Structure 1
Amino acid sequence: MLDNLRGMAVFASVVGHGSFSGSARELGITTSAVSQQIRSLENELGVVLLHRSTRKLSLTEAGESFYEAARDMVSAAEQGRIKVNQLRDELAGSLRIATTPELGVHHILPALSTWMAAHNDLSITFLADNHYVDLIDERIDIAIRMSPSIDDLTLSNHPLSDVRQVLVASPQYLRHHKKIESPKDLNEHQLICIDIMKDASQLDFVQTETGKKTRLKMSSRIHTNNVFMALTLAKEGHGVVRMMEMDAKNDLANGNLVEVLTGYQLPSFVLYAVTLNREQQPAKVSRCLEVLKKYFHAG
């Protein structure tokens, strides 16, 4: 089948140029190679397509009929190539982005909103979930993750931002409970546990000035798998909560939450955009990555 299609393309080129030599120049092959393609096609079809003479070429009746099909095939292939190039080089088609609900609402949508509005030919799907998403199975173009994809050669990691973890509580909670001046004071407090975090109730502190490390496991009677829920519980005074600073940024700025143990640091993370590993990314993916990097760098 592929040989036939190749032969049809050569045949259409020969007829279009009116000569084997003109077709050879267009296709970048030898005249004898063009002649061989036509002979093979005629043998396969069992008919003569071209009358050959030393002065010119002319189509047989079968050749005239077959030329229409060959020309339409070449035209369809060219249109297909143009569409593929548009999807590769233009901001068109579909773009599928996987993120968490919290990152999506607080950062990814604000980062991309203006860019999305400027490109009406782009159809965008957001998958907001806290579970790991397989980029190939779900046809994901960009996944936003707090950890890189390790030892997976099919994926590329694009760092977006360093992200601090913070321990926060509401002013109301801090007024009515024992002061938190060192990590050991947390033994008298309840942690609102976000179960999507690894070792959710275990806290590892490093004292900023001395570098002294402290590990402790907090008591927790309230659990959730959602950062929005944890934020609300903390603001209503139900305990302290460990979360990414970017998720608590607005509430810290307006005073709804207060960072505790500011002289200590929890482990930081890197926020990544993960894509399929390609030599050349489609323009829609490359441009989206540029917008995300600019947003997080500015932040």
Structure 2
Amino acid sequence: MLDNLRGMAVFASVVGHGSFSGSARELGITTSAVSQQIRSLENDLGVVLLHRSTRKLSLTEAGESFYEAAKDVVSAAEQGRIKVNQLRDELAGSLRVATTPELGVNHILPALSTWMAAHDDLSITYLADNHYVDMIDARIDIAIRMSPSMNDSSLSSHPLTDVRQMLVASPQYLRQHTKLQTPKDLADHQLICIEIMKDANQIDLVQTETGKKTRTKMNSRIYTNNVFMATTLAKEGHGLVRMLEMDIKKELESGELVEVLTGYQLPSFVLYAVTLNGEQQPAKITRCLEVLKKYFHAN
């Protein structure tokens, strides 16, 4: 089938130029290679397509009929090439972005909002989920992740920003419970557990001045798999919560939540944009990555 398609393209070129040599020049192959393609095509079809003479070529009846089909094939292939080039070089077509609900609402949408409005030929789908999404199965162009699989050779990771974890509580909660001065005091407090986090109720702290590490397993009676819900529970005074600083920026600025044990640090992360490997990424993907990097650098 592929040989026939190649032969049809050569046949259309020969007819269009009226000669084997003209077709050979256009296609960048030898005249004998053009002749071989036509002979192979005729053999496969079981008909003669061209009458050959020393002066000119003429189409047989079968050749005239087949020429129309060959032109259509070549035209369709050219249109397909043009469309592919447009999708590669222009900000058009579809773009699928996977992120978490929290990152999506608080950062990805604000980062891309103006860019989206400026490119109305681009159709964007956001998949917001706290679970891992297979980029190939879900046809994802860009995934925003805290811990991409660096061992997966099919993926490329683009660092966006460092992300700090914090242990926070509401002022109301802190007024009503035992004072927090050292990691040992955590034993007297309740932790609101976010189940999507690994070892959700285990707190690893490093003293800022000495570098001394402490690991504490806190008591928990409230669990959720949603960061928005955990934030609300903490604001209403139900316990401490371990959060990413970028997820609670507004609450920290308003004073609804405050950091505890400020002389200690929790492990930090790197936020990545992950794409499928490819030497030539479409312009819509590379431009989107540029916009995301600019946003997180500025913030």
Interval of TM-score (by shorter of Structure 1 and Structure 2): over 0.9
Letter in 2 for 1:255: G
Asked if structure 2 preserves the Cα contact closer than 8 Å seen for 1:96 and 1:140, the reply is yes
Question: Given the alignment of the two structures, is residue 234 of structure 1 paired with residue 230 of structure 2, yes or no?
Answer: no
TM alignment of 1:74-223, pairs within 5 A:
74-223=74-223
Aligned twin of 1:281? 281
Aligned twin of 2:57? 57
Q: CA deviation at 1:84?
A: 1.1
Aligned twin of 1:40? 40
CA distance in 2 between counterparts of 1:274 and 1:296 reads: 15
CA distance in 2 between counterparts of 1:146 and 1:126 reads: 17
CA distance in 2 between counterparts of 1:66 and 1:137 reads: 40
Letter in 2 for 1:263: G
Q: CA deviation at 1:176?
A: 1.4
Letter in 2 for 1:10: V
Q: CA deviation at 1:186?
A: 1.0
Q: CA deviation at 1:150?
A: 2.7
Identical aligned residues as a percent:
86
SS in structure 2 of the partner of residue 66 of structure 1: helix
CA distance in 2 between counterparts of 1:76 and 1:170 reads: 64
Asked if structure 2 preserves the Cα contact closer than 8 Å seen for 1:149 and 1:274, the reply is no
Q: CA deviation at 1:178?
A: 1.4
CA distance in 2 between counterparts of 1:101 and 1:172 reads: 27
Aligned twin of 2:22? 22
CA distance in 2 between counterparts of 1:152 and 1:251 reads: 37
Letter in 2 for 1:260: V
Aligned twin of 2:31? 31
Q: CA deviation at 1:203?
A: 0.6
SS in structure 2 of the partner of residue 140 of structure 1: coil
SS in structure 1 of the partner of residue 214 of structure 2: strand
C-alpha deviations, 1:105-140, integer Å up to 9, x for none?
000100011111111111111111101110011111
Aligned twin of 2:67? 67
Q: TM-score, normalised by structure 1?
A: 0.98
Q: CA deviation at 1:211?
A: 0.7
Aligned twin of 1:272? 272
SS in structure 2 of the partner of residue 94 of structure 1: strand
CA distance in 2 between counterparts of 1:59 and 1:66 reads: 10
Question: Which consecutive residues of structure 2, in runs of 5 or more, have no partner in the other structure?
Answer: none
Aligned twin of 1:13? 13
CA distance in 1 between counterparts of 2:43 and 2:128 reads: 58
